[in-house]
Amino acid sequence: MSETLTLRRPDDWHLHLRDKDMLKAVLPETARHFARAIIMPNLVPPVVRGDDALAYRDRILAALPDGMKFTPLMTLYLTEDTDPDDLAEAHTSGLIKAVKLYPAGATTNSASGVRDFDKVRPVLERMAEIGCPLCVHGEVVDADIDIFDREAVFIDRVLDPIRQAVPKLRVVMEHITTQNAADYVRSNQTGLAATITTHHLVINRNDILVGGIKPHYYCLPVAKREEHRLALRAAATSGDARFFLGTDSAPHTDPNKLSACGCAGCFTATNTMSILAEVFENEGALDKLEGFASLHGPAFYNLPANDESITLTKGGPFRYPEKLETPEGPVTIFDPGMDLHWRVA
């Protein structure tokens, strides 16, 4: 006899949809299960002004298959030349829900990001005034900092000084990967939250490197030691409303992932809900899954939870396709390395 689990329809608070043919191919994988998603603005060129966000939103909606219901929640890409008035107008109108901070050079398509954080102080102060959240890719890019330490150093060198200088700024630490970040969120009672990805709940750095390099597990921020993975699982399954789902699902074609300089990102949109149900069940916390996937994110963004629901059934193990075929080439679907017994009915 199969078991069932019914949840409010979830949202994804960190998603890459790309554009053009790739957008058309990957959008249904998210819209099948998720009602809304915070859309990353790191296109080429990036989404930096309200008009850019409006045009990108229209392209997303035009790519949505008939019969699917999905709301893209748009963001702007913060640069040292961001116009505070344009940003404020886009947020006040409801066009954008947040602004994304990429330290220049930190990850895919981040070359237009911030190098001198003092130059964006007026924009951050304006965002604090109007209640617009800042979504942060939390890594320093200094050459003398080990890649596994970038997140922890960012908290001390960049994030904490920003929050002290602009204390009313609401901040989402995106795709956290360390015990340090989880502890920092817990130590701050207001205005701070964090998203956690599906893949960082499943893999550690051994999974990337032991027995040969696994390019499809390579992401940024890179997965850390096992102690950090366990800390993320504890945070996600705790019921603490400051932690919620942001998949950071990031499609790259296999040739780009398998090249000499492989692209960073894991494509998890297809099987995220199955993986999360497995993880939360393993942690004895299935009753906390709805909060993490469906309730905590809307609460932080001052949005209502979705009225619709989804039902997962337990049976299997269920198998997902290894690849998503796109006009640009195959995209490998994240392999959690474990059997999946839950799927969305």
Q: What CATH number is associated with residue 123?
A: 3.20.20.140
Residue positions annotated with a catalytic role: 248
Residue appearing with tokens 């009672």: 189
Domain boundaries, position 120: 3-344
The overall longest dimension of the chain from CA atoms, in Å, is 60
Quick check: 334 and 266 in contact, CB under 8 A? yes
Quick check: 329 and 322 in contact, CB under 8 A? no
Tokens of 335: 């392999």
Q: How many CB atoms lie within 10 A of CB 254?
A: 15
Residue-by-residue pLDDT tens, the chain, 345 positions: 459 999 999 999 999 999 999 999 999 999 999 999 999 999 999 999 999 999 999 999 999 999 999 999 999 999 999 999 999 999 999 999 999 999 887 676 667 788 888 899 999 999 999 999 999 999 998 899 999 999 999 999 999 999 999 999 999 999 999 999 999 999 987 899 999 999 999 999 999 999 999 999 999 999 999 999 999 999 999 999 999 999 999 999 999 999 988 999 999 999 999 999 999 999 999 999 999 999 999 999 999 999 999 999 999 899 999 999 999 999 999 999 999 999 999
Distances (CA, A) of 169 to 11, 242, 302: 23, 15, 15
The amino acid that residue 159 corresponds to is L
Domain count, the chain: 1
